[in-house]
Structure 1
Amino acid sequence: MKAVWQLWLQLWKRMPVLAVLSMLMCLTGLVLALIAMLDARVAYLGMGFVAFASWFWHIGLGQVLRGVCRPESFLLPGFRSRLAWLGVAGVVQWVLLPGALLVLAGPPHGALIIAGLFVVASLGLALGCGRRVSLAIWAVFIAAGWMPRLAAQVTTVALASPWTAPLLFLCAALLIRYALAPLLRIQDVETPTSPLENASIGRNSQSALDDTPSRRGAWNRWLGELFDRAAQRALERSLQTYRQRPSAAGRLALVRRLLLPHDNPQAIALRLVLVAGMVAIYFLAVMHRQHFDAAVIGAYAVLLTMARFPQLGRGMLRMRPNLADLYLTLAPATRGEYQKIMVDALILLVPVSVLTALAYTLLGSVLAHAAEPLRMLLTAAIVATSASLVALAVHLIGPEGSFGRGAINLVLIFGAMATYWGGYWLLGALGLAWGALALGTVTISFGGGVWYAAQREYQRRAPRFDAPLG
C-alpha cells in the first residue's frame, strides 16, 4: 500500500495548486450534500461542485500518469497492480463516497448521479492522458444546439429509462480503457519534434510536468509525415539555392528553415486547409443561433493566430542547447550579429500570423454571409499585425518561468480581444478609411515600438545555450 500511497501523492507533489483546489471544491460539494439532507434543493449544487472537482483532479492525474507510465517503470515489481489499486482508491474517493452522500441527501435518480460522477472522472482522465475526447464532447453539444427539442426529449427518456445508468457505467469503463491503453503499452518513445513546431499540427502535445510526448495515432503520424516532407523539401531547396549563390539572404533562409521547419509555403497551405476545416465545422455549428454575431469570426481568427506565440516562448527555451551548434556553424563575428540573425529569422512569424488571420476571417465571413466582411478583414489584419509584434517581442525577452509566461499569455489574449472589438467599433463609427487609419496608427505604432525595443534588448543580451531549469 505504500507504493499506492506514493502514486496518489504524485499529483500533490507535481500540481499542488490543482490538487488543493480540487479538494476544496470536493469538500464544498460534500458539505452541501450534508446540508441537502435538510433542504434537498442544495443537493444538485453539491453534485456540481463534486463533478467539477473530479474533472480537474483527473485531468491532472492523467498528466501525472503520462509521466509515470514509462517503459522502464514497468520493470518495477507489481507496477500494474499498484496502478489498479490506485484506480480503485480513485473510484472510492471520487465516485462512491460523494455519490453515497448525494444519494442520501434525497434527490431522485441516485444511480444516475453515481454513474454521472464515474463518467466525469473518466472524461477528465482521458483528457489528461492526451486523448482527444474533447472532440466527442464538442460534437454532442453541437448536435444539442442544432436540435434542442430532440435533445430535450432524449434527456427526458434517458432519465426515465433503467438502462441509462448501466450504459453510462459501460461508457465510463470504455473511456478509461481508451485513455490508459496507450500508457500501459510498452513501446518506444515518440521521436522528438522541433520545439518550435506549430502547435496546430498536434505532434508537440506534451505533459506539462516533464515534457513527456503524447502517443500519436495513425492519423497524426501520417499528418506529421506530410509536414516533415514539406519541411525537408523546403530545406533542400534553400540549401541548393545557397550553394549556387551564397548570400546573407540565403543564409537567413536556411536559418529560418532550421528554426521554423513548418513555416514554409507548402506547410502553411496545408495547415490553413486543416484548420479551415475545423473553422468551417465550428461556424456551421454556431450559425443556428438566432443572435449569432458574424463579427466574432475576426476575433476567433485573431485568437487562433495568437496561439502560436506561447509555443515559441517554450520552444526557444528548450532549443537553447541545440542552438550552440547553430552558433558554431554560423561563426558570427560578434554575439550581437548572431542575435540579429535570430531576430530576423523569427520575424517571419508576423506575416505568417497576419496571413492566417486574414484567411480564417475571409473563410468565416463567406460561411456566415457577414454583412460587413471588409470591416472584419481590415480590423483582423490590423489587430493581428500589432498583436503578433507584441507577442513575438514579449516571448522573445519575457520571463522564463511557466507562471510568468502564462500570465503574459492571458494579458496578451485579453488585450488582443479588447483591441479587436474596440477597433471594430471604431471602423463602424469613423468609416472604413478613417477608422482603419486611426486604428492602424495607434496599434501598429505601439506594436512596432514594442518590437523595436524588444529586439534591441535581445541583441544586447549574450546568447544562452544552457538548458532551462524548469
Structure 2
Amino acid sequence: MRPIVQLWLLPCRQMPVLGVLAHLLWLAALACVAWIVPHADGAAIGAGLLAMGSWFWHLGLATTLRSACQPETFLLPAFRRHLAVFGLVDAALWVVLPAALALVLGVPYALLGGALLLLAAAMGFAMGVERWVSLLFWPLLVLAGWMPGLAGAIVHDALRSPLTLPLLLLVAALLLRLALHPMLQLADRPPDTSPLEGLSLGRNATPDAAPRRSALGRRFEGWFDSIAQHAMEQALTRYRAAPSAARRRTLVRRLLLPHDNPVAIVLRMAIMAVFATLYVVVALHRQHFDATVVGAYAVLIALARFPQIGRGMQRMRPNLADLYLTLAPITRAQYQQTLADALLVLVPIGTLTALAYTALGIVLTHAAQPGLMLLVTLIVATGGGLVALAVHLIGPQNAVGRQLVNAAVLLGTTATYWAGVWLADALGYLFGGGLLALLVLGFGLGVWFAAQREYQRREPCFDVPLT
C-alpha cells in the first residue's frame, strides 16, 4: 500500500495548491449530490465541480508521473503493477464512487454522468502527457461558442441516444491509450539541447524528464536544429576566414542561442502567424473588441522569451566552463561582458517579433490606428525587453523568485503600453511618442547598464545548480 500512497503524494508534494483545490472540489461535489434536494439539481452542480477538479488533478498527476516514468524507474520492483493499482484506486475515487452515489440516490443519467467524469479525467491526463491533445478539443470549443444553438441541439439529442454512453467510453479509452503508450514505453534519452533554444515544444520544460513530443513537434524540431547547425557552420567558416571581435560574438551567440539566427526567427514568426491567423479568423469571427489590445498581446508574447534566460543560464553552468576555457578571457569581467553582449541580441529580436505580430493583428482586425499601435509597440517592447533581460540575468535563482520578478515585469510592461497609448493619442505621435520614448527607453537603458555592471562584477559560476 505504501507505493500507492507515494504515487498519490507525488502531485500533492510538487503542486500542493493543486492537490488541495482538487480534493476540496471532490468533497464539495459529493456534498452537493448528497445534501441538495432534489438530488438531480445537486448532481448537476456536483458534476461540474467534480469534472473541473478531476481535470485539474489528472493534469497535474500526468505531469508528475511523466517525470517519474524514466527508464531507471521501471527497474523498481513491481513498478508497473503499482501504477496499475494506483490507476484503479484513482478511477474508483473520481468516477466509480460519485456515479454509484448518484445511482443510489436515483439521479437521472447517472451512468452517462459517470462516463463524462471518466472522459474529463482521461482528457486531463492525456493533456498532461501529450500537450498537443488540447488541440483536438479546441475546435469543438470554438464551434460551441460560435454556434451555441447547434451545440445545444447536439447535446439534447446525445442525451437520448443509446450510442452516447459507449462512444464516451471509447473516446476516454483512446485518450488513455494515447497517454499511457509513450509514458510506459522504454526509450533512450534523446541528446541534450541548449536551455536557451528558441522553441516552446516541451524540450526544456522539465530537465530531468524525458520529453514527449508529437510527430509534428519532432518535425519542427528537425527544421530548427538543421537551421541552427547550418548557421553555426557558417559563423565558424566566416570567423576562420577573417577573425574579428564581431564574428567572435556571433559565434558565442550561435552557441548560446541556436534558434535565434535570421532564418530561424523568420520561420518561428511564420508558424506563430499561421496559428494566430486561424485563431483570429475562427474564434473572433463574430466578436468585436478594441484592436489596440493586439499590441499589448504582441509585447507580452515577445517578453515571454526572457524568463528562459534565468533558468537556462543556471542549467548551463557546467557547460559554460568549456566556453570559458575556449574563450580564454584576460579577466573574469571580460568573460561576463562577452555573455551579456551575446544575450543582448534578444532585445532587438523581441522588438522585431512584437512589431511583426502587431502588424499581423492590424491587418486581421482592420485596426483604426495602426501608426499609434506600431509606435507604442516599438517603444514599449524595446524598453520592456531591456528591463526583462536585466532582471532575469541578475535576478533570483529560485523558481518562486523568478516567477514573482517575471509577473512584476509583465504587469509593468502592460501598464506602460496602455499609458503609452493614452499619451500618444492625447499629445500626438511626435510629442506623446517622444515623451514615452524618453521615459521608457531611458528607464530601460538605465536598468540594463546597472545590471550589466552588476553581472560583470560577479564571479563566473560553473557549479551544478541545486535542485
CA contact 1:383–1:420 (8 Å) conserved in 2: yes
Greater shift, 369-378 or 105-114, is seen at 105-114
Alignment of 1:23-422 (within 5 A): 23-37=23-37, 41-102=41-102, 108-200=108-200, 202-207=201-206, 211-422=208-419
% same residue:
52
CA contact 2:55–2:123 (8 Å) conserved in 1: yes
CA drift at 1:103 = 5.5
Cα separation, 2, equivalents of 1:405 and 1:165: 46
CA drift at 1:363 = 1.2
Query: Given the superposition, is the C-alpha separation of residues 34 and 444 from structure 1 closer, same or farther in structure 2, using an over 3 Å criterion?
Result: farther
CA drift at 1:82 = 1.9
Cα separation, 2, equivalents of 1:245 and 1:345: 19
Cα separation, 2, equivalents of 1:37 and 1:323: 65
Deviations 1:394-444 (A, max 9, x none): 110111111111222222222222222232233222222222222222222
Cα separation, 2, equivalents of 1:372 and 1:342: 39
Query: Given the superposition, is the C-alpha separation of residues 353 and 106 from structure 1 closer, same or farther in structure 2, using an over 3 Å criterion?
Result: farther
Secondary structure of the 2:151 match is helix
RMSD: 2.0
CA contact 1:286–1:292 (8 Å) conserved in 2: no
Deviations 1:356-414 (A, max 9, x none): 11111111211222222222111222221111111111110111111111222222222
Query: Given the superposition, is the C-alpha separation of residues 332 and 414 from structure 1 closer, same or farther in structure 2, using an over 3 Å criterion?
Result: same
- Residue in 2 aligned with 1:12? 12
Q: Structure 2, unaligned stretches of length 5 or more? A: none
Secondary structure of the 1:199 match is coil
When normalised by structure 2's length, the TM-score is: 0.94
Cα separation, 2, equivalents of 1:428 and 1:103: 62
CA contact 2:68–2:209 (8 Å) conserved in 1: no
Cα separation, 2, equivalents of 1:351 and 1:344: 12
Query: Given the superposition, is the C-alpha separation of residues 183 and 241 from structure 1 closer, same or farther in structure 2, using an over 3 Å criterion?
Result: same
Cα separation, 2, equivalents of 1:443 and 1:103: 63
Cα separation, 2, equivalents of 1:80 and 1:101: 30
Query: Given the superposition, is the C-alpha separation of residues 107 and 424 from structure 1 closer, same or farther in structure 2, using an over 3 Å criterion?
Result: farther
CA contact 2:129–2:212 (8 Å) conserved in 1: no
CA contact 2:351–2:381 (8 Å) conserved in 1: yes
Cα separation, 2, equivalents of 1:426 and 1:134: 40
CA contact 1:95–1:118 (8 Å) conserved in 2: yes
Deviations 1:274-301 (A, max 9, x none): 1111111111123323323322221221
CA drift at 1:18 = 2.4
1:453 aligns with 2:442: no
Instruction: Count residues with an aligned counterpart.
Output: 467
CA drift at 1:203 = 4.8
Deviations 1:303-335 (A, max 9, x none): 211211122221111011100111111111111
Secondary structure of the 2:72 match is helix
- Residue in 1 aligned with 2:432? 435
Cα separation, 1, equivalents of 2:39 and 2:404: 41
Cα separation, 2, equivalents of 1:35 and 1:436: 61
Query: Given the superposition, is the C-alpha separation of residues 411 and 230 from structure 1 closer, same or farther in structure 2, using an over 3 Å criterion?
Result: same
Query: Given the superposition, is the C-alpha separation of residues 141 and 395 from structure 1 closer, same or farther in structure 2, using an over 3 Å criterion?
Result: same
Name the aligned partner's letter for residue 85 of structure 1: V
